Structure 1
Amino acid sequence: MKIGIIAASGKAGSHILREALMRNHDATAIVKNKATLKEPVTTIEKDLFDLTATDIESFDYVVNAFAPANGEEHLHVDAGKHLISILQPTNTKLFVVGSAGCLFVDRDQTVRLLEISDYPEHLATVAKYQLQNLENLRNSTVQWTFLSPSAMFDSEGPRTGHYVLGKEHLVVNSQLNSYISYADFAVAVIDEIENANHVNKVFTVASENITTAS
C-alpha cells in the first residue's frame, strides 16, 4: 500500500509513519522540513498548502496528521478544503486524524465532548474546526475516513496493539478510561487503511490492556 503521511514528523504523524514502515507499506513523509524527520524515509518536502494533485495521485491513501499551532486552529478547515480540492480528481483516499472533542458523550448523541464545561478551551476550539472539516468531507466526493482519539491522547504511552472500537461516541476501555496511546492510535490507522471498515465514516478507539492510565 502506498501511503503519504502529512506532518509525518509530528506526534501523531511520526507514530503513523513508524507503524506503516514496520508493516512494510510504501510510506512517504510529507513535511515542510525533512530535517525534522527522525528516520530515513522517502520524503516530499512541501507545505501542505502547496501540495498538488500530481503530488498525491500515486498514493492509495493520504493521511492528514496536520496539527496547527495554538491560535491557528482555523487552519484545520483551510487544510481540509485544500486536500479535498486536490484529491477530487484522483483515486487517492483521505484519512484524517480527528479530535476527541468531536465525539458525543451521551447515548442520544446530542452533546459533544467539546461542549462539556471543563473541557480545555484550546481543545474545544480544535474540535469546532475539525467538525467543520468533517462536514466539508461529508459534502465532498472524496473517499475519506475520520478517526478521533480518546479524551486522553498519550504521546508517551505503549504500543499494546489492542484497542476498543467506537463510532461517533466517546468510548472507554475495560478499566473505564477514555485513553489511547499515540502508538495504538497508529495501529488503528494502519489497520483501517489495510481493511477499509469505516469508509466515509467517523470512528474512535481506546487502548486496551493499559496499566499506566488511571
Structure 2
Amino acid sequence: MLKIAVIGANGKSGRLIVAEALRRGYDVTAVVRSENQSEARNVLVKDVMALTKEDLSPFDVVVDALGFWTAETIPLHITTAEHLCDLLSGTGKRFYVVGGAGSLWLDPQHTRQVVDEPSFPKEYFPLADAQRRQVAAVKARSDVLWTYVSPAAAFLPDAPATGKYVLGSDDFSVNANGESMVSYADYALAMVDLIANGGHAHEQVSVRS
C-alpha cells in the first residue's frame, strides 16, 4: 500500500487530494501547521520549513499542496518547494506539486508563458510569477522524482466533480468551447490517478476539463 504525505492538507486542493487518496485505500498522512481539517486520521503537525528527512522517510509519495496568497508569503512557493526537494534528494520518493497555469507554454518554441500575456490579470501576476519560478526551480532538480501538476487557467473550487479530465503536457490547451477550466474535485482525481499510475517523473503536466 502506498504511503502518501499531503503537505498543506488543510487547503482546498489538499483536502480533496487526501479524500480521493483515502477513498482508494491508500495510507495518507496530513501534514499541517495547525489542527487537521482533512479526512486523514494520520496527522503530522509541523511547519513545512521545519520538516526533516526523517519526517518524510516513511512515505513513498509526497504531495506539495501548499498555497500562499499574500504579498509577504507568495515567495514561499519557491522556498518551500526547494526545501522539500532538498529533503527528497536522492531518496527515490515521488514528489508531486500542485502548481499553477501561469507557467504553461503558449508557443511551440516555449518562449511565451500564460503569465506573459498582456491580458493576464494584474492582480494574479505576483502569484503566477512565483509559481513560474517555482516550476523552474523544481525542473532544475534531476535528483528528485518530481511531477509538477498545473491546473487549467480557471481553477474552480466549488464546481462539481465530473469524474472526467484531460491530461496534457506543459503546453496551454483549451476544450472544444475554447475554455481552460477544471474543478478542484476533478484535479484531485487526476492527481491521485498520476500517483496511482506512476510515470511522468521530471515532467510538468496539465489538467483541464
Instruction: Give the shorter-chain TM-score range.
Output: over 0.9
Contact 1:165–1:171 (CA<8 Å) still a contact in 2? no
Q: Spell out the pairing of 1:19-98 with structure 2 (5 A cutoff).
A: 19-35=20-36, 37-71=37-71, 72-98=73-99
Report deviation, 1:89.
Answer: 4.9
Contact 1:68 1:75 in 2 (8 A): yes
SS of structure 2 residue aligned to 1:86: helix
Distance in 1 between residues matched to 2:90 and 2:193, nearest whole Å: 26
- 1:104 aligned counterpart, secondary structure: coil
| CA–CA separation in structure 1 for the residues paired with 2:76 and 2:106 | 26
Deviation at 1:122, TM superposition (A): 4.0
The answer (yes or no) to whether the contact 1:171–1:205 under 8 Å persists in 2 is: no
1:9-55 alpha-carbon deviations (Å, 9 max, x no partner): 101111111111111111110000124x1435210001111111111
Aligned residues: 206
Q: Which residue is equivalent to 1:169?
A: 171
Give the corresponding residue for 2:133: 132
Letter in 2 for 1:10: G
Q: Is the 8 A contact 1:53 1:90 kept in 2?
A: no
Q: Identity over aligned residues, as a percent?
A: 35
C-alpha displacement of 1:176: 2.7
- After TM superposition, the score normalised by the length of structure 2 is 0.92
Task: Encode CA deviations 1:83-139: one digit per residue, 9 max, x unaligned.
Answer: 111111533221001110001123443221101122123432222222222222222
Q: Distance in 1 between matches of 2:94 and 2:83?
A: 14
Maintained 8 Å contact 2:28/2:40: no
Between 1:156-165 and 1:95-104, the stretch displaced more is 156-165
Q: Normalising by structure 1, report the TM-score.
A: 0.90
Unaligned runs of 5+ in 2: none
SS across alignment from 2:196: helix
CA RMSD of aligned residues (A): 1.5
Contact in 2 for aligned 1:53/1:89 (Cα 8 Å): no
| SS of aligned partner of 2:204 | strand
**2:6 and 2:64 in contact (8 A); partners too:** yes
Structure 1's unaligned 5+ residue stretches are 208-214
- Give a deviation string over 1:150-181, Cα, whole Å, max 9, x none: 00000011221211121111122233320110
Letter in 2 for 1:144: W
Opposite residue 63 of structure 1, the aligned amino acid is V
